[in-house]
Amino acid sequence: MIQFLLNQQLRSEHALDPNMTVLEYLREHLHKSGTKEGCASGDCGACTVVVGELDISAEGREYIRYRSLNSCLTFVAALHGKQLLSVEDLKHQGQLHSVQQAMVDCHGSQCGFCTPGFVMSLFALQKNSDGADLHQAQEALSGNLCRCTGYRPILAAAEQACCQAQPDQFDAREASTIAQLKAIAPKATAELADADKRCLLPLTVADLAELYAQQPDARLLAGGTDLALEVTQFHRPLPVMIYVGNVAEMKRIDTFADRLEIGAATPLTDCYAALAAEYPDFGALLHRFASLQIRNQGTLGGNIGNASPIGDAPPLLIALGAQVLLRQGDSTRTLPLQDYFIDYRVTVRQPGEFIEKIIVPKADAAWSFKAYKLSKRLDDDISAVCAAFNVRVERQDFSAASPLATGVVVEARLAFGGMAAIPKRARAAEAALIGQPWTSATVEAACAALAADFTPLSDFRASKEYRLLSAQNLLRKYFIELTTPHVETRVTAYV
């Protein structure tokens, strides 16, 4: 049985199909058709809903954290212990909510199909900001497509909704909603099942390890932004799932003097601050990772667990020398992420074994880390090529201002996504750099060596020629950016 709040109403669901998405639950089970289905694959945002979770602010105050999600990619079990808000919940006592009114005032809607999704994204933005700027508004709406109004009036509505926000019914009821959420907070492993499918929801890593060891054929469900597509796009049912999103130890980021330990079930949005503080380019890449809705639900562990050759985090983590901690029952092992991937979607993970955390070294001034994502669209698009470079150059001439001006490369980690069947280091190019002066001639030799490292494929994202040439050009760009301080750099690029 799972329990959650549908706005203020307690829902206890005993027997639902665990493969049912929140979108299907709202539209087909509850006959609430305000939330729309556009693509059913996380691309359009028409299905956006907001999910509230009890959280504690930096000042120690309990509050409800509201996040926009794509309901088409969220299985209903993931609502356990949370509050679900859909567009029907915003109007109060006959009055439109201020975000809805802003859309009316600014002429932000024409056919209206996308509008419930925009409204819910704007609602989450309003709840999470004190007067959002244009950049925040664009980010909040990065996963919402409109095909007829155009975005200028919608951005104007965002400005109005956030700059003129007044307390609403959700603020008035915050204390009682917090009390309700505390009353339904999960206390033991829950299960949602129907006649032939089940989803288990453990709360501790020990319980997860035990359940997975007993049922190694179960599919682990984190944010579902990859896994749900198997059901919604490929019509492959998932008979047994284990939801890792309620495992508290796996949603934590622990900071040590030399490393970050990131729980595998931490949503990408929550990884942002820690990673961006150490590595600004990691932060820049996360801004370009899918849309805000996807980052709110997708996790770092899911991005690795999915083992896609075009996942964005793995090349960056490999270039940084990150490790994964794998658990199977009571046993754990730690290995470099670069050794985790074996072949196309094949990894070293054994039956019943899962990623518990990702260990990322803290920034070291001796290394120069940068990352680049090439995709056809700036927001909400998968990489054609993702590159991450991390080089340590040792000073040779102590009168020079920077070791990067005259030094010798002593270590190099060049990692790519989109160039092979797995996220992979460019060993030949690294060898061409190591022990050589950090000069454009050395970088040219490394660029030539990239052709030995990779035989990329052509697909609808890019041709093999484009992939190889742009990988080489990104390495050149990295060199120029490091050695020519006056060059205005754009840490990420798009085609």
C-beta neighbour count of 320 within 10 angstroms:
25
Q: Work out whether 290 is an interface residue with ligand FAD (CB under 6 A).
A: yes
Q: Work out whether 204 is an interface residue with ligand FAD (CB under 6 A).
A: no
Q: Which of residues 9-48 bind ligand FAD (CB under 6 A)?
A: 41-43
CA distance 334 to 224: 25
Answer with the entry of ligand FES, ligand FAD, none that 113 interacts with (C-beta below 5 to 8 A by kind).
Answer: ligand FES
Q: Work out whether 482 is an interface residue with ligand FAD (CB under 6 A).
A: no
Determine which residue in the list 312, 430, 453, 481 makes contact with ligand FAD, applying CB under 6 A.
312
Q: Work out whether 111 is an interface residue with ligand FES (CB under 6 A).
A: yes
Q: Which of residues 51-70 bind ligand FES (CB under 6 A)?
A: 70
At closest approach, how far in Å is the CB of 267 from ligand FAD?
Answer: 8
Count interface residues toward ligand FES (CB under 6 A): 23
> Tokens at residue 3, please?
């329990």
Answer with the entry of ligand FAD, ligand FES, none that 289 interacts with (C-beta below 5 to 8 A by kind).
Answer: ligand FAD
Cβ-contact 428, 449 below 8 angstroms: yes
Cβ-contact 241, 77 below 8 angstroms: yes
Cβ-contact 382, 461 below 8 angstroms: yes
Angle between helix 98-105 and helix 115-128 axes, rounded to 10 deg: 120
Q: Which of residues 225-254 bind ligand FAD (CB under 6 A)?
A: 225-227, 244
Cβ-contact 108, 156 below 8 angstroms: yes
CA distance 449 to 472: 9
Determine which residue in the list 11, 29, 39, 193 makes contact with ligand FES, applying CB under 6 A.
39
> Tokens at residue 80, please?
């356990």
Give, in degrees to the nearest 5, the angle at Cα 53 between 89 and 126.
55
| 291 versus 470: smaller Cβ distance to ligand FES | 291
Determine which residue in the list 18, 45, 116, 302 makes contact with ligand FAD, applying CB under 6 A.
302
Q: Work out whether 371 is an interface residue with ligand FAD (CB under 6 A).
A: no
Residue 154: partners with Cβ closer than 8 Å, 6 or more residues away:
103, 106, 108, 118, 141, 146
C-beta neighbour count of 378 within 10 angstroms:
15
Q: Which of residues 72-111 bind ligand FAD (CB under 6 A)?
A: none
Taking contact as CB under 6 A, which single stretch among the options 114-122, 169-177, 301-309, 425-433 is the one that binds ligand FAD?
301-309
Q: Work out whether 146 is an interface residue with ligand FES (CB under 6 A).
A: yes
State the virtual CA torsion across 464, 465, 471, 474 in degrees, nearest 10. Answer: -140
CA distance 150 to 358: 40
Determine which residue in the list 355, 385, 450, 468 makes contact with ligand FAD, applying CB under 6 A.
355
Q: Work out whether 219 is an interface residue with ligand FAD (CB under 6 A).
A: yes
Determine which residue in the list 52, 108, 283, 305 makes contact with ligand FAD, applying CB under 6 A.
305
Cβ-contact 261, 107 below 8 angstroms: no
Give the residues lining the site for ligand FAD (CB under 6 A).
41-43, 219-227, 244, 264, 289-290, 294, 297-299, 301-303, 305-306, 311-312, 354-355, 380, 382
